[in-house]
Amino acid sequence: MVLKILKALFLWITPAWFALAQPSADLQKGDSAFAARQYRLALQQYQIVEKAGFGSPAMLLKMAYIHEGLSQIAPSLRYLSLYHARTGDPAAEQKIQTLAEKNQLNGYQLTDGEKLRQLVAKQKMSISILLVTLVVALAGLISFQKFRRNQANRAIISLLVVGCLALAWNQYANRPTQYGILNGNTNYLMNGPSAGAGLMSIQKDGHRVKIIGRQDVWLAVVWNSKTVFVRENQLLTLGPIQ
């Protein structure tokens, strides 16, 4: 009986172990190729790792470096942005701004309000824990007051309601702004989600746009404060589209 259980565990664990080991091996191959200055080979290995859903901040930084060396600005900016999102490294943010200014690209300057919103979104889990603790404490205090005085303080009840509303907002509405980087040789920004819609503008690759929606193969983005549509395959997204 024990042998059967051990055999079942072995059969269950082995595929999972190999699934984890393979990206690690590809990452090591990529690092070795990068150290040997075989950058195209390194990039191929890193792309395999990324496709498997793995990768370290160091790998993202190396991919950005390789793409910049190949004069592929859009992918370079994408990996720099992903690296910055993972690490918060101010040097990466400065590099992004430098590349954007050098190539005359739009969309990389954030307002103070946008920076604050991004910061709050990054702290979503911490805010949730704080609000849950507050709501539980207030609920406990109200129960205690009802037990001792047979009534609860209205101010505390109001705070509890506000806390519940804030928790709901943080859970369902507090999401980071989604961005994408134009990556086609010629990017057509359309007035509607159709090839037959009016043409709004033609832009080079590298510009960053805010993603606000999806319709079939078209993504709704903001360009010069206007909503336009671009094909999904012409945009490098900086995270999953919600």
CA distance 51 to 63: 13
pLDDT > 60? residue 11: no
In sequence order, the β-bridge partners of residue 214 are: 219
Please count the CA atoms within 13 angstroms of the CA of 47 that sit on its side-chain side: 9
pLDDT of residue 115: 61
CA distance 110 to 237: 17
Q: Which residue has the tokens 């945009």?
A: 235
Domain definitions of the chain by residue range: 2-104, 118-172, 178-237
Question: 97: which 2 tokens?
Answer: 């701004």
Answer with the residue of higher pLDDT: 221 or 141. Answer: 221
The phi and psi torsions of 161 (rounded to 5 degrees) equal -60, -45
Strand order in the sheet with 218-223: 199-203, 187-190, 226-231, 218-223, 208-215, 178-182, 235-237
The structure's pTM equals: 0.69
Mean pLDDT, to the nearest integer, of 98-102? 94
User: Per-residue pLDDT tens for 192-229?
Assistant: 999 888 899 999 999 999 999 999 899 999 998 899 99
Across all residues in the chain, what is the average pLDDT?
A: 81
Q: Is residue 170 very low, low, confident or very high in pLDDT (cuts 50, 70, 90)?
A: low
Q: Choose the weakest-confidence range: 31-40, 129-138, 150-159.
A: 150-159
pLDDT of residue 234: 92
CA distance 44 to 26: 9
pLDDT > 60? residue 169: yes
Answer with the residue of higher pLDDT: 102 or 26. Answer: 102
* Topology annotation, domain 178-237: SH3 type barrels. (2.30.30)
Q: Is residue 130 very low, low, confident or very high in pLDDT (cuts 50, 70, 90)?
A: confident
Domain 2-104 class in CATH: mainly alpha
Helix (H) or strand (E) holding 225: none
Q: Is residue 142 very low, low, confident or very high in pLDDT (cuts 50, 70, 90)?
A: confident
